[in-house]
Homo-oligomer: A and B are copies of this chain.
Amino acid sequence: MSRNNAGLSTERIITEALRIIDGQGLRRLTMRRLGDALNVEAMAVYHHFPLGKEQLFEAIVAYITDVTPSAASSEEEADTDQGESPAADPYRGMSAEVPWDERLRNWARAYRQALLRHSGALTLLINRRPDTPAATRSLELHYAAFHEAGLRGAAVVQASAVLDSYVTGAVIHEVREAGLAGAAPAVVDGRFPHVHRLDNVALDPDQRFEEGLEATLSALARDA
């Protein structure tokens, strides 16, 4: 029955790969395990990704980082829902009617959520080039918004880079700190008075992100 034509597709492969990454970690994503999860021989994946695992990784990054609307404006049904909860609204509030700063906030929130949702794949982002169509759409959204804010030329590029840096860095910071939960309390002795004093200060991750976002955006807009 499962002899031939198992209905494999790049989409199905990527989705299944992400399920493995999210559930077991990136290191346990092997071609053989991926084949098993797809009820297929491992080597079947190579027919859809001839360049092998590296090409699969690139496709995963492109899939994850796609957070901008690809069509005209809004009012469209999501034909390719990204996953489990249909309650969440992707691509919301990035169309031209929305004020520029709110558009950037919505992009930043969507991008953070996308990275957090598959934080096990975060490490794939670093070594891969940001030249996917989705990345270009994000760039266009950034440039249009900062242009509307009054920035021009190099300042626009600069602002976009800083915003992207903050969001990416904040997610990494959040993920690294979350890993601290089950660990030993670290050695905070007299040499670190400030750390000792503020050790029990806990911030809500969402609020922390929002505050940092506000600080970043206001600093960038002030140059206009």
Contacts and interface: CB of A to CB of B under 8 A. Distances in A.
A16 B219 CA distance: 42
A1 interface: no
Contacts of A153: 198, 201
Contact of A170 (B165, B176, B183, B223): B165
A69 B118 CA distance: 36
Contacts of A139: 192, 195
Contact of A167 (B136, B169, B179, B191): B169
B131 A186 contact: yes
Contacts of A219: 215-216, 218-219
A140 B196 CA distance: 9
Nearest to A218: B219
Copies of this chain present in the complex amount to 2
Given A158-B211, A219-B215, A219-B219, A143 B177 contact: no
A156 B197 CA distance: 11
A40 to B, nearest CB: 26
B158 A195 contact: no
A177 B177 CA distance: 26
A129 B173 contact: no
Contacts of A133: 187
Contact of A192 (B136, B175, B176): B136
Nearest to A207: B158
Contacts of A129: 176, 179-180, 183
A172 interface: yes
Given A143-B195, A158-B208, A177 B136 contact: no
Given A126-B176, A166-B166, 7 more contacts: A125-B176, A133-B187, A139-B195, A143-B194, A161-B203, A162-B211, A215-B219
Interface of A: 122-123, 125-131, 133, 136-137, 139-140, 143-144, 147, 153-154, 156-158, 161-162, 164-170, 172-173, 175-177, 179-180, 183-184, 186-188, 191-195, 198, 201, 203, 208, 211-212, 215-216, 218-220, 223
7 contacts: A130-B176, A139-B192, A139-B195, A140-B193, A157-B198, A161-B170, A169-B169
